[in-house]
Amino acid sequence: MRAASARDNRGVIAVENPPVDPATTTVAAPARRPIGLGIFLIITGAVGWWGAMELITERVRLLLDPEYTLNCDINPLISCGNVMASWQASLLGFPNPLLGVAGLVAPIAVGVALLAGARFDRWFWWAFLTGVFGAYVFVHWLFDQAVYQIGALCPWCMLVWLMVIPMFWVLLLWSLKSGMLTDRPGARRVATAVWPFTWVIVLANLVAIVVAILVQFPSLISLLLG
C-alpha cells in the first residue's frame, strides 16, 4: 500500500499515511516469561541455602560448646560430626557450607529476576549454567568422598545435593530448548524432545546415588529402622 501525497499552495509536499487495517496488522507477541523456571530456581536455591546454613550453624554451636550434640548426628553412618572432622569438609581452607551459603543466593536472585520480567543475554546464561554445573560436579565429589572415603553421611549435605542435582538438569535442558545457549536447531530440537523427561534424568541420577549408598552401607536401613 502506497502513501498518498499532495502539494499545498506553498509547494510543500505533504505525505498522508494510509489508514491502518487492524485485521491485517500483526503485532509481535511478547516473549513469555519463564515463571515456572523462576519459581523452581527460588525453591531449590532457598532449600539448598537453608541446608548449608544449618551446617554452618551446627558447626558454630560445636565450636562454642565442644560437648554439644549435633542435630544431624543420628547414628555412626549418618553423622555430620564425622564429616565435619574430615579434611574434605574444608576443601578450600574454610568450611564447604560457606560456598553453599554464598553460591545458592545466585539461583534465588535469578529466579526472582525472572518473575519480575528480567531478560538476560546469552553470556549471562552461560556464566550462570557454568556456576550451577560447578556446584553439580562438587556435590558429586562430596558424595564420593563421604561414601567411599569418610564412611559417613551428612543429612544437611544430602539436602543440598537433592536441590543442586535437579537444578542443573532443569536449567541445562531449559536453556538449550529455549535457545538461551545456542541457536543451533539440532540442539534445540533434541532438548525440546528430552524436556518432558527431565524428571526421569533427575530421578535416575538420584537413584544411582541412593543405590551406591545402600551398596556401600548395607546396614544403613536396619540402623534407621532400629
Q: What is the pLDDT of residue 16?
A: 52
Residue 226 belongs to some domain of the structure: no
Residue 11 belongs to some domain of the structure: no
Q: How far is the C-alpha of 94 from the C-alpha of 101, rounded, in Å?
A: 13
Q: What is the pLDDT of residue 24?
A: 46
Residue 123 belongs to some domain of the structure: yes
Q: What is the pLDDT of residue 108?
A: 98
Q: How far is the C-alpha of 169 from the C-alpha of 199, rounded, in Å?
A: 9
b/e per residue 64-76 (b: at least 16 CB within 10 A): eeeeeebebbeee
Q: Can you read off the three cell numbers belonging to residue 143?
A: 558424595
State residue 104 phi and psi, 5-degree precision.
-75, -5
Residue 42 belongs to some domain of the structure: yes
Residue 143 belongs to some domain of the structure: yes
Residue 210 belongs to some domain of the structure: no
Q: How many domains does the chain have?
A: 1
Residue 12 belongs to some domain of the structure: no
Q: How far is the C-alpha of 21 from the C-alpha of 3, rounded, in Å?
A: 14
130: domain CATH number is 1.20.1440.130
Angle between helices 122-145 and 155-177 (to 10 degrees): 150
Q: What is the pLDDT of residue 220?
A: 85
CB 221 within 8 Å of CB 213: no
> What residue spans of 92-219 are helical by DSSP H?
97-103, 105-115, 122-145, 155-177, 185-194, 198-216
Cell numbers 539448598: residue: 48
Residue 15 belongs to some domain of the structure: no
Contact partners, residue 28, CB within 8 Å, separation at least 6 = none
Q: Which domain holds residue 146?
A: 32-163
pLDDT, averaged in runs of 10, over the chain (226 residues):
50 50 44 90 98 96 92 91 93 94 97 96 97 98 96 96 98 97 95 97 98 93 80
Q: How far is the C-alpha of 67 from the C-alpha of 26, rounded, in Å?
A: 72
Report which secondary-structure segment, H or E, holds 59.
helix 35-64
